[in-house]
Amino acid sequence: MIVAAGGSGGGPAFEGASSPPGGPHAEAEALRRAGTSARGATAYVTLEPCAHHGRTAPCVDALLAAGVTRVVVALVDPDPRVSGAGIDRLREEGVEVSVGTCEEEARDLLAPYLTHRLTGRPFVVLKLAASLDGRIAAPDGSSAWITGEEARADAHRLRAESDSVLVGAGTVRCDDPRLTVRDAPGRSPRRVVLGAIPPGARVEPATSMCGDLGAVLDELGAQDVVQLLVEGGARVAHDFHAAGLVDKYVLYLAPALFGGDDALSMFAGPGAATIRHLWRGRLVSVRALGADLRVELAPVRADASASERTAHRPPDDGTAASDARAKGRS
Ligand code: ZN
């Protein structure tokens, strides 16, 4: 959030960003920095300020107490506890509120939060590094450094911005990864292994989970994992993809070819059996990263707006969330 003193433009601006769940919201941080400059100022927020007592005090109260007179909101909060209530309260107290500025940009920026709020599950990012012919390891299993340094650093940034990173137990046995953030600033995410963690694995401390992937996501979501980075291996990548559970694909592609069908594919398991079942995504971005390519793909989900309408229903008997999940994940 940004607090701009002295009306529209001219005055100093004070910024704040939200901390992880339970920590101070962006509003509190920006208002703290603005101090008395907030009186009569305009606040620019991506998400509607909250009006309920959660783990932090309501931001609406903080904005009113600070004397902000105008609030520009990009996006109404889909959280049924907020959903319009924050905006209504501000207006009742005589604050001028406008909604919808930069809404699309805010929706992209807040996609993990919105997914978590609407479905109760983390936003799932699947990361893959492969040769240009889509292979991740040679037939003898060797796979180190297909992509270069820049791609690795970018993947570490992806880790740092995720709350949790997940791999299969097979990957832990074969590659013994640490899954920590080393080549980028930021903290290391919580590590999750699907299956049993072999003794002495470098991934420790980590959580071992098993069972249905949907149930795993429900559990992680309930534990405030807002963004989950899935890092492999090929079986785990296949299972998340095949179940339609991936919200964003990040592919690092090296200008290299294994040149045969005996090298290991990105996805291990049955794929599209017929061309009619070919999965088609939407290219979000393609850019060169050192010698490699970074490709970002999003699944095409027809009914995203319907799931949001569903989530705006009052939280009567808990069915709103499950309906939203069914639609959002279809
Ligand atoms: Zn808040």
Q: Within a 10 A sphere around the Cβ of 76, how many other Cβ atoms?
A: 19
Q: What is the pLDDT of residue 20?
A: 65
Query: 141 and 50, same structural domain?
Result: no
Quote the number of domains for the chain.
2
Residue 224 counted as domain residue: yes
Q: Domain of 186?
A: 121-299
CA of 27 from ligand 1 middle (Å) equals 7
pTM of the model: 0.81
One domain for residues 73 and 142: no
CATH of the domain at 48: 3.40.140.10
pLDDT of residue 330: 37
Instruction: Give Cα separations from 263 to 135, 140, 143, 146, 257 (angstroms).
Output: 6, 8, 10, 13, 10
Instruction: For residues 130 and 258, state if they share a domain.
Output: yes
Q: Can you give the pLDDT of all 330 residues of the chain as single tens digits?
A: 888 876 555 677 888 887 766 678 889 899 999 999 999 999 999 999 988 887 788 999 999 999 999 999 999 988 877 789 999 999 999 999 999 999 988 988 899 999 999 999 999 999 999 999 999 999 998 888 899 999 999 999 999 999 999 999 999 999 999 999 998 899 999 999 999 999 999 999 999 999 999 999 999 999 999 999 999 899 999 999 999 999 999 999 999 999 999 999 999 999 999 999 999 999 999 999 999 999 999 999 865 444 444 444 444 444 444 444 444 443
69 and 198 in a single domain? The answer is no
Interval between CA 221 and ligand 1 midpoint (Å): 19
Indicate if 80 and 195 belong to the same structural domain.
no
User: Among 22, 69, 78, which Cα is nearest to 46's?
Assistant: 78
Q: What DSSP element (H or E) covers 74?
A: strand 70-75
Q: What DSSP character marks residue 60?
A: H
Q: How remote is the CA of residue 196 from the centroid of ligand 1, in Å?
A: 39
Same domain, 132 and 39: no
Q: Which of 15, 27, 103, 204 is catalytic?
A: 27
pLDDT at 305: 46
Q: Is residue 27 annotated as part of the catalytic site, yes or no?
A: yes
Within a domain: 81: yes
The pLDDT, as a whole number, for residue 203 is 96
Ligand 1 centroid from CA 162, angstroms: 21
pLDDT, residue 303, reads 54
All residues with CB under 5 Å from ion ligand 1: 25, 50, 59
pLDDT number for residue 10: 61
228 and 128 part of one domain: yes
Question: HSE-up of 87 (CA within 13 Å, CB side)?
Answer: 18
- The answer as to whether 219 is a domain residue is yes
CA 226 / ligand 1 centre spacing (Å): 16
Residue 110 lies inside a defined structural domain of this protein: no
pLDDT on residue 34: 92
Claim to verify: residue 92 and residue 144 sit in the same structural domain: no
**Separation of 312 CA from ligand 1 center, angstroms?**
18
CATH number, domain of 168, equals 3.40.430.10
Cα separation, 106 vs 76, in Å, equals: 10
Give the three-class secondary structure for 50. Answer: coil
Residue 24 belongs to some domain of the structure: yes
Does 249 fall in a domain? yes
Q: Same structural domain for residues 206 and 153? A: yes
Query: Is residue 57 located within the same domain as residue 93?
Result: yes
